[in-house]
Amino acid sequence: MKNLPYEVKLTYAIFFCILILIILFIVFVVIVYNRKQLLYIKEQQLKEAEYQNQLLQKELEKQKLLEQERERISHDMHDDLGAGISALKLQAEFLKQKADDDDLQNDIDELLKTSEEMNLSMREMLWSLNSGNDTLGSFIDYAIQYTSNFLKKTRIKVWSESEDILPETPISTELRRNMFLCLKEAVNNAYKHSQANKLKISFLQEKNTFIMKISDDGDGIPEEHHEGNGLRNMKRRMEEQKGECQILKDGPGTHIVFKATV
């Protein structure tokens, strides 16, 4: 290398300088390209986030409108339908005082019974529509109240217990409604078929799993008994809510367990 002519050495030096410049240029281009790609990706992520935020805002507005509509229907039912049922009941009681015929009085008694059932159904619907009741605490309180009122004129004594319940845990309106209808069916079956003296309602929360168990000390379900519409309906309702309905055979009586994610 030392013996090479000066011109050759100069040529090699220029060649290496040009090569280094080309390498530096390529590195520069790659860095600029990567930065542009990163900026583009961040811009796309920002646009996606803005789009998702807009969708969320629209969904929140939709939910708010639904809540307002539910509240409006609830108030209208309470003011109009509730007042009408009360007026009907008062009129029937007034007619009963004037009626001398036994058959007529029996008919009026049936009318009073029907108006009371309508009033109870309306209260249940109002409770279902009220978004302020979309918590586990509200559901449990109403479930216990309903069961106690339903069985208060029967020989069946009602017991209830709650374990690890976080009362403010949200529960969807649809799940709350379906679990309440399952409760009604189970309590009604116990009243009609179990010959029980005690009925116990247990509530348990395991993280995001809510469990409701209804047990009685009655005759239980016979082994040869075919699954009726009531049990099928309860299972169907819970399956629609991605939950479970199970009949446990861990002692005398009937034990029905409902599980759902909240």
Per-residue pLDDT tens digits of the chain, which is 262 residues long:
556 676 777 787 888 888 888 888 888 888 988 888 888 888 888 888 888 888 888 887 877 777 777 667 666 665 666 667 677 777 777 777 777 777 777 877 787 777 777 777 777 777 877 777 889 999 999 999 999 988 988 899 999 999 999 999 999 888 998 999 999 999 998 888 888 899 999 999 998 999 999 999 988 776 666 666 778 899 999 999 999 999 887 678 889 999 999 8
Closest CA to 186 of 152, 157, 147: 147
Token pair of 99 as six digits:
């009626």
Contact 92, 112 (CB under 8 A): yes
Nearest-angstrom CA–CA distance, 42 and 59: 25
Backbone angles phi, psi at 99, to 5 degrees: -75, 135
Token pair of 254 as six digits:
């009937």
Which pLDDT belongs to residue 128?
76
Closest CA to 243 of 193, 192, 209: 209
Which pLDDT belongs to residue 180?
92
Which pLDDT belongs to residue 153?
85
Which pLDDT belongs to residue 4?
62
Which pLDDT belongs to residue 111?
78
Amino acid at the residue 109? D
Report H helices in 77-129: 82-98, 102-129
Which pLDDT belongs to residue 1?
53
Amino acid at the residue 253? G
| Sign of the torsion formed by the C-alpha atoms of 211, 121, 229 and 236 | negative
Nearest-angstrom CA–CA distance, 178 and 212: 12
Collapsed DSSP state (helix, strand, coil) of residue 76:
helix
Question: What's the 3-state SS for 184-236?
Answer: HHHHHHHHHHHCCCEEEEEEEEECCEEEEEEEECCCCCCCCCCCCHHHHHHHH
Which pLDDT belongs to residue 166?
94
Nearest-angstrom CA–CA distance, 202 and 160: 6
Residue 100, classified by CB atoms within 10 Å of its CB into exposed (0-12), middle (13-18) or buried (19+), is exposed
